[in-house]
Amino acid sequence: MLVKTYAAAVEGVGARLITIEATVTMGVRFYLIGLPDEAVKESHERIFSALQHNNIPIPKKQVVVNMAPADIKKEGAAYDLPLAISMLAANESVSVELLDKYVMMGELSLDGTLQTVKGVLPIAIMAKELGFKGVILPTGNCREAAVVDDLEVLGANTLVEVVDFLNGKGELEKTTVNPFEELDTQMLQMGIDFADVKGQDSVKRAMEVAAAGGHNIIMIGPPGAGKSMMAKRMPTILPPLTLPEALETTKIHSVAGKVERGTSLITQRPFRSPHHTVSDVALVGGGTNPQPGEISLAHNGVLFLDELPEFKRAALEVLRQPLEDRKISIARAKNTIEYPSSFMLVASMNPCPCGYYTHPTRACTCSSSAIRRYLNKISGPLLDRIDIQIEIVPVPFEQLANQQTAEPSAAIRERVVKARAIQEQRFKDVKGVYCNAQMTPRQLRTYARPNAEGLALLQNAMLRFNLSARAYDRILKVARTIADLDGSEQITAEHVSEAVGYRNLDRAGWVQ
């Protein structure tokens, strides 16, 4: 008897339908074909152990299972459940009536218990698009898949439960989730706040500007000045995730297996902080079996690179294209996988090898040449993609001892959201541009033209500080954001002046 069950293969952040065909004929062998990897081939042992443990009749004849299409490599143990069901149905131990209505995925333990799998959300989206009634998954994956509306999500704990359901002897628990309620109840539950930061008003202002315009930012200062503390609080002032952003973010984390058991949606903007020993593949994604890297896991959120000059040059240089295109393409011999990577880069660094070049009370022991070599570890093209460069100095004791609470993240976020709303309206007819940081030189001439006083001040600043040509566009972008925070349609000299102050590393003579 020939039967078909349906599963899925994850490709990038999407999924592709896999048809599993099984037939039982005269003979004694087991054949699994259709380009399975080693983990899929090992399913034979897990399936037969699960059947034995649960006293389910094992086919005593020759079994041939084909996974179509055959040109797609099938990877992982998530195919155990559909493979087992197809074999049982071909052996007439399971009814075939419901097999064409559901996509099934799940890893089997030796006792028949179902284990959670990766990539459930894109699989559920694919099932809905192809017109399936629903999906049958391990219970721990159900909330993640249930954010897809108009799709029946059935959860099972064991293989026996699935067999009984297909034979009409039992029911599987249906899971429903309201994604809008998930966003409303969880998106503001953060344990950190800018109210915890003492002093550093100028740096907090720079971070507010960065959040309002989607600008990349780097903080330069001595150890203990609070760089990491403030970077970790950046997500608390970014606009809340929209439902499409939450779904897109959850898809990436689902493919990477980073969604916690029982979680439906990722409702807070991601914050990724890889160690400086990270490889270029771990940073941007790839590998033998391509997986999303840190830049994709930070999609719609923040990528924080602490002690930027300590990262390997090769790892930093691969960031250049994703920062510009907001996506990363991973090419392999047989296919190319594309992952989204629209993140805000927040970086920090010491001003010199010893760390105390800008310290107000401690003397720096580094020579000028040593400082230059240290700063030159960051290439010009990468620095070109960082709009805001701000110096930070340690907080005086008087401010640390002050018991007055600083401005909370909620108040800053309110201003950021208003500024983003202005930009959303401005770029509503411009494809691929959602905030000021994404403006092209042509759009700068349209939307970021200062008034006469502002233009004169910018000219003087370029000459006085010997600012580079790349700084010109960055200053205009940041000035446009500052004007949006002020609710001003026109960019004035005041806005330009503040924006010029955020280009510390571009100033000639910063290192004497």
pLDDT of residue 186: 56
pLDDT of residue 117: 94
Provide the 3-class DSSP secondary structure of residue 381.
helix
Within 10 A of 472 (CB to CB), how many other CB atoms are there? Answer: 18
Give me the phi and psi of 122, to 5 degrees please.
-60, -30
CA distance 329 to 339: 7
Would you place residue 189 in the very low, low, confident or very high pLDDT band (cuts 50, 70, 90)?
Answer: low
Extended beta strands in 69-203, E state: 102-104, 107-108, 114-115, 134-138, 152-156, 173-174
pLDDT of residue 269: 92
Long-range CB pairs of 201-207 (<8 Å, 24+ gap) are 202/390, 203/230, 203/390, 203/392, 204/230, 204/406, 204/407, 204/412, 206/388, 206/390, 206/502, 207/233, 207/234, 207/237
Provide the 3-class DSSP secondary structure of residue 325.
helix
CA distance 251 to 338: 13
Would you place residue 467 in the very low, low, confident or very high pLDDT band (cuts 50, 70, 90)?
Answer: confident
The one-letter code for the residue type at 503 is R
pLDDT of residue 512: 46
How confident is the model over 216-238, as a mean pLDDT?
Answer: 92
For residue 342, pLDDT beyond 90: yes
CA distance 227 to 440: 30
CA angle (292 as vertex; 236, 386 as ends), nearest 5 = 50
**Beta bridge partner(s), residue 6:** 19, 103
pLDDT top residue among 148 and 504 = 148
For residue 460, pLDDT beyond 60: yes
Considering the entire predicted model, what is its pTM? Answer: 0.89
Within 10 A of 394 (CB to CB), how many other CB atoms are there? Answer: 20
CA distance 206 to 389: 9
Burial 277-295 (b: 16+ CB within 10 A, else e): ebebbbbbbbeeebbbbbb
pLDDT digits (tens, 9 = 90+) for 328-341: 988 876 678 889 99
CA distance 297 to 251: 10
Region for 48 from its dihedrals, namely left if φ exceeds 0, alpha if ψ lies in -120 to 50, beta otherwise: alpha
pLDDT of residue 64: 94
CA distance 55 to 159: 12
Burial 244-258 (b: 16+ CB within 10 A, else e): ebbbbbbbbbbbbee
Task: Specify whether the CB–CB gap between 390 and 219 falls below 8 A.
Answer: yes
DSSP category for residue 366: -
The one-letter code for the residue type at 412 is I
Percent of the chain predicted with pLDDT > 90: 62
The one-letter code for the residue type at 509 is G
pLDDT top residue among 238 and 199 = 238
In the block, residue with structure tokens 């939307």: 447
| Per-position DSSP letters for 198-244, written without gaps between them | -S-HHHHHHHHHHHHHT--EEEE--TTSSHHHHHTTGGGGSPPPPHH
Task: Specify whether the CB–CB gap between 496 and 434 falls below 8 A.
Answer: no
pLDDT digits (tens, 9 = 90+) for 238-262: 999 888 899 999 999 999 999 888 7
pLDDT of residue 65: 94
Distance in angstroms between the alpha carbons of the first and the last residue of the chain: 83
Extended beta strands in 34-125, E state: 62-68, 102-104, 107-108, 114-115
Helix, strand, coil percent values for the chain (each to nearest 5)? 40, 20, 40
CA distance 5 to 53: 23
pLDDT of residue 139: 95
pLDDT of residue 128: 95
DSSP category for residue 394: P
pLDDT of residue 193: 87
DSSP category for residue 76: S
Burial 77-109 (b: 16+ CB within 10 A, else e): bbbbbbbbbbbbbbbebbebeebeebbbbbbbb
Burial class (CB in 10 A: 0-12, 13-18, 19+), 401: exposed
